């Protein structure tokens, strides 16, 4: 038995929009890391930056179609990140258009941390779909995010 036991079929079998949401978030995280490590300001940075913006926008919009927790009716605390994403994108894009490179950097790093790294870590908790995708399904075979019997 290994610690990581990938099961991508679990993600692909999840109801829409979960697969596209997760894949966009994973791609955005990879792109964010690449952007942090690469040279800034060139054409490559700008093109990858616009792809990052599109991926983050889709991640936020598609999150509105996911209601597996439903703390407040259809919504849960994770849905509070939707306005955080769009606000951070607006602030980051406005900053760079104004020539405020430091403000742009802060907004994008904060966005990646608050909307990708922290929530991404929570998706790996037992009982969540991404936990089962990465580590394999539980021994009892219960699907992720299934209601727990009393």
pLDDT at 148: 36
CA distances from 16 to 32, 39, 69 (A): 25, 36, 15
Q: Domain locations in the chain?
A: 8-135
Band of residue 80 on the pLDDT scale cut at 50, 70, 90: confident
C-alpha 126/C-alpha 83 separation (Å) is 27
DSSP per-residue string spanning 47-96: HHHHHHHHHHHHHHHHHTT--SS-TBTTB-GGGGHHHHHHHHHHHHHHHH
Q: pLDDT tens for residues 85-105?
A: 999 999 999 999 999 999 999
Residue of higher predicted confidence among 133 and 76:
133
Mean pLDDT of the chain: 88
Average pLDDT over residues 119-148: 79
């Amino acid at each position: 038995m290994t610690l990581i036991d990938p099961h991508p079929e679990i993600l692909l079998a999840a109801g829409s929009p979960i697969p596209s949401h997760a894949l966009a978030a994973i791609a955005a995280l990879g792109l964010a890391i690449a952007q942090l490590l690469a040279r800034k300001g060139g054409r490559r940075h700008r093109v990858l930056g616009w792809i990052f913006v599109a991926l983050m926008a889709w991640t936020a919009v598609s999150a509105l179609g996911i209601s597996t927790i439903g703390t407040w009716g259809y919504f849960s605390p994770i849905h509070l990140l939707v306005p955080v994403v769009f606000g951070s994108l607006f602030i980051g894009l406005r900053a760079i258009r104004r020539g405020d490179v430091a403000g742009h950097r802060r907004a994008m790093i904060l966005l990646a941390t608050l909307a990708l790294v922290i929530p991404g870590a929570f998706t790996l908790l037992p009982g969540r779909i991404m936990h089962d995708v990465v580590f394999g399904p539980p021994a009892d075979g219960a699907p992720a995010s299934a209601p727990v019997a009393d």
